[in-house]
Structure 1
């Protein structure tokens, strides 16, 4: 893993409004962004990732819903949103029957839990995401909320790493 200390320093030195905007691009939960910002200055990449983990652990159910609102439905990346399209690259070129199954399973999940099915889609195929969706559907709301929290943490870790590596 390449370390770009200047990117981390620039992020830590950003004014409050700029930092919040950047962090909200990583995760759409204002509670998360506030908690991560409050942990600066971060001594290194690991400290920033630890701030992500701590902020994720502290999120309320409402905060989790805020975070999920920033994510496209699995199988339907947001057109023109490079992050969404990159993260869901595993659905590109998939046959329509599999996409139909994914959309149907998503609809059932959303009806049961009241939010999108959230999974760290990076590196996953449509078939593995569908299998995970079906595996998680029987969960109760509390169990599913904790799984979502873990998936959000992974997504944020990837996005933070990318932010630091591309800056």
Structure 2
């Protein structure tokens, strides 16, 4: 299979650096992450792009990881006009007011403890599953939580890169 037989990948490989940078920023808010992906173009296959995304996520410094997390709204409060966060947090759509209030309280406790938003790959998760994960992760030591955050960011980036190729 050639790159030209995968329209989304061919478009990504050939679009201007400015347009590709904008698209990549929608995937991950880390400038370093987007630059790493951009610098490795062109990609022969979608899997090559996903592997590059994984490698770029693994290479993020602590500051880069903070920058990436700053691009994510808290669970239960997707950014208005942000279809990606609304789609990814769909599991909270039918949540009760009690669950929403609990998530707000837990999100605030998490941010106070770790200094950043609670990051989880919410795609396909119910509100209760996200709440339970948040409760469980509140007890993690900071170093362990950073490892989990990086893994969750990698999962989110893979989903968003795949969608980028499908939408392109």
TM-score past 0.5 threshold: yes
Q: Tell me which residue corresponds to 2:125.
A: 124
Aligned to 1:77: 78
Please name the residue that 1:164 is paired with: 165
Structure 1 stretches of 4+ with a deviation exceeding 2 A read none
1:49: which partner in 2? Answer: 50
- Cα root mean square deviation, aligned: 1.2
Q: Which runs of 5+ in 2 are unaligned?
A: none
How many residue pairs end up in the alignment? 165
After superposition, where does 1:85-96 map in structure 2 within 5 Å?
A: 85-96=86-97
Unpaired runs of 5+ in structure 1? none
Tell me what 1:15 maps to. 16
Q: Distance in 1 between matches of 2:159 and 2:124?
A: 11
Q: How many angstroms does 1:14 deviate by?
A: 1.8
Kindly state the Cα deviation for residue 92 of structure 1 after the two structures are TM-superposed: 0.7
Return the alpha-carbon distance in structure 2 between the equivalents of residues 10 and 93 of structure 1: 37
Structure 1 position 15, deviation (Å): 2.1
Distance of 1:41 and 1:11 partners within structure 2: 8
Distance 2:43 2:90 in 1: 31
1:141 and 1:98 map into 2 onto residues whose CA distance is: 26
Deviates more, 1:7-16 or 1:82-91: 7-16
SS at match of 2:29: coil
Shift of 1:6: 1.8
Aligned to 1:136: 137
Question: Which 10-residue stretch deviates more, 141-150 or 9-18?
Answer: 9-18
Q: Deviations over 1:11-62 (max 9, x none)?
A: 1112222211111111000010011111211110000000000000000110
